[in-house]
């Protein structure tokens, strides 16, 4: 298809013929809304159409039409991604899966749930909790992001330091391939090693190898945990980083270990007035969820390590409401910062022992490039989210922000890290991924992509450098 307006109108008419009424839109405002995810700094173009799939048959029809028409398919969940993985490209159909919201089965005995990809993470968690079960992955966007999108990017979350990321909970899935065929991958049993682990391959592939239309997710028992929070306020990022390194070196595995800096603290306080510690440069927020005396012992040990690293104060809580209150600042940090201006979000991950050095390098980068960088971190597993803020309409500041972004990626790799811990490569991380993977591994990626999507119609240009 040449990409002319006549071709686009023809494509829309054919999609409307193939699908039920109300599932295809070419309205300019809808095209603009669905052209990009939350990574607005990444390139995007208006799509030819947006399709709101409500069934596997809808997905199959769109993929087959796209393949026959020379159009690309860009899958999308809730659009909460931060790397441009759901950004539309020229001559593409955005295929929204947000209406596929059925929870198909909750199996209490075998501890799994089957659900469509448009189910919101928090809705799934509440549904399985009613059966005494727990789905641990909890990205910061858990109240608005879909499990299909979580799987496409292998999303992490606050509790992943102890309980793992999305890939650790995906037992199986149903996938629509580039030729429109439908395959079942994985299993529903506790164990299984038949064939290659194609399920794990699909997780984190950002819709470039197939479109996930159903997920089978492993669950844990809901009970058996007693959450305690320990929050330390520090006079510097470096001191908080030292506490992180000490807690890790002591062999303590908290259920959460999060960090927010002064910029985040001030932004949250200005917006929500939570009564956060005044004068603190950094908050380090820990949870332990071991039961009884063991949990109390671990909480005390975490507090001791914070104090030894120079904490200005340490607050502890065991009541659920108090635990939630102490962690609310972390949950609200990103939306609070978005109120200050456009945010360029980093997502680097370094060895835990390198957290203090990486935080110091981020501060040096902010000074060198004259930009504001706020720091949010899953500090317990070394996954740092430096957030670079540029004033609206300031092109010079935006250029400096992009330069700082590249410097942070370089420093991360120099410390033995990876350029994305949980947001995915998308478009923003393609240069860093090229440097990290190297030519031979990139060719391996290309071979897999060519085998599953020879015409290159599924989310082209994302996930790995071509």
Domains and CATH numbers, the chain: 5-96 (3.30.43.10), 103-221 (3.30.465.10), 224-334 (3.30.70.3450)
Is the Cβ–Cβ distance between 257 and 376 less than 8 Å? no
Beta strands per DSSP E along 77-199: 92-96, 103-107, 112-115, 133-134, 170-176, 182-186
Is the Cβ–Cβ distance between 254 and 380 less than 8 Å? yes
pLDDT at 279: 84
- Looking from the CA of 409 toward its CB, the CA atoms found within 13 Å total 21
Identify the H or E element spanning 335.
helix 320-338
Low-confidence ranges of the chain (pLDDT < 50): 2
pTM for the full predicted model: 0.94
pLDDT at 278: 78
Q: What is the b/e burial string over 197-231, where b = at least 16 CB atoms within 10 angstroms of the residue's CB? A: ebbeebbbbbbbbbbbbbbbbbbeeeeeebbbbbb
Taken in order 305, 308, 312, 313, the sign of the CA dihedral is positive
Taken in order 264, 266, 268, 270, the sign of the CA dihedral is negative
| Radius of gyration in angstroms for the set of CA atoms belonging to the chain, rounded to a whole number | 22
What 8-state DSSP symbol labels residue 213? E
pLDDT at 285: 96
**Strands across the sheet containing 211-218:** 103-107, 112-115, 211-218, 170-176, 182-186
pLDDT digits (tens, 9 = 90+) for 176-225: 999 999 999 999 999 999 999 999 999 999 999 999 999 999 999 998 89
pLDDT at 3: 57
Is the Cβ–Cβ distance between 276 and 269 less than 8 Å? yes
Is the Cβ–Cβ distance between 53 and 60 less than 8 Å? no
């Amino acid at each position: 298809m040449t990409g002319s307006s006549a071709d686009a109108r023809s494509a829309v008419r054919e999609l409307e013929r193939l699908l039920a009424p109300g599932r295809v839109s070419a309205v300019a405002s809808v095209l603009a809304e669905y052209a990009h995810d939350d990574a607005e700094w990444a390139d995007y173009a208006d799509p030819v159409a947006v399709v709101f799939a409500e069934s596997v048959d809808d997905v199959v029809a769109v993929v087959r039409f796209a393949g026959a028409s020379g159009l690309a398919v860009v899958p999308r969940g809730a659009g909460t991604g931060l790397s441009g993985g759901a950004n539309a490209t020229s001559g593409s159909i955005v295929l929204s899966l947000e209406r596929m919201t059925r929870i198909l089965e909750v199996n209490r005995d075998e501890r799994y749930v089957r659900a469509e990809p448009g189910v919101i993470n928090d809705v799934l968690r509440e549904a399985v909790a009613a059966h005494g079960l727990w789905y641990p992955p909890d990205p910061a966007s858990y109240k608005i992001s879909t499990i299909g999108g979580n799987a496409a990017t292998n999303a992490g979350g606050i509790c992943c330091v102890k309980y793992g990321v999305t890939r650790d909970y995906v037992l199986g899935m149903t996938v629509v391939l580039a030729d429109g065929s439908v395959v079942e991958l994985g299993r529903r049993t506790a164990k299984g090693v038949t064939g290659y682990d194609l399920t794990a391959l699909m997780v984190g592939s950002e819709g470039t190898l197939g479109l996930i239309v159903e997920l089978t997710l492993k669950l844990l028992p809901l009970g058996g945990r007693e959450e305690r929070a320990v929050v330390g306020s520090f006079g510097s990022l470096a001191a908080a980083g030292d506490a992180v390194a000490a807690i890790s070196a002591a062999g303590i595995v908290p259920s959460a270990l999060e960090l927010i800096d002064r910029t985040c603290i001030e932004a949250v306080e200005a917006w929500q007035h939570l009564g956060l510690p005044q004068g603190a440069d950094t908050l380090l927020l820990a949870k332990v969820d071991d039961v009884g005396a063991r949990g109390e012992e671990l909480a005390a040990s975490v507090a001791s390590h914070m104090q030894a690293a120079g904490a200005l104060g340490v607050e502890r809580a065991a009541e659920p409401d108090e635990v939630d209150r102490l962690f609310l600042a972390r949950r609200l940090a990103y939306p609070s910062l978005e109120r200050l201006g456009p945010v360029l979000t980093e997502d680097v991950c370094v060895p835990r022992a390198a957290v203090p050095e990486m935080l110091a390098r981020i501060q040096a980068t902010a000074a060198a490039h004259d930009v504001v960088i706020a720091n949010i971190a899953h500090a317990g597993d070394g996954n740092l989210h430096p957030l670079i803020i540029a004033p609206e309409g300031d092109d010079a500041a935006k250029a400096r922000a992009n330069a700082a972004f590249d410097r942070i990626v370089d420093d991360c790799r120099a410390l033995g890290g990876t350029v994305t811990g949980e947001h995915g490569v998308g478009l923003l991380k393609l240069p860093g991924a090229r440097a990290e993977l190297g030519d031979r591994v990139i060719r391996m990626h290309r071979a897999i992509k060519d085998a599953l999507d020879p015409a290159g119609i599924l989310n082209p240009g994302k996930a790995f450098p071509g």
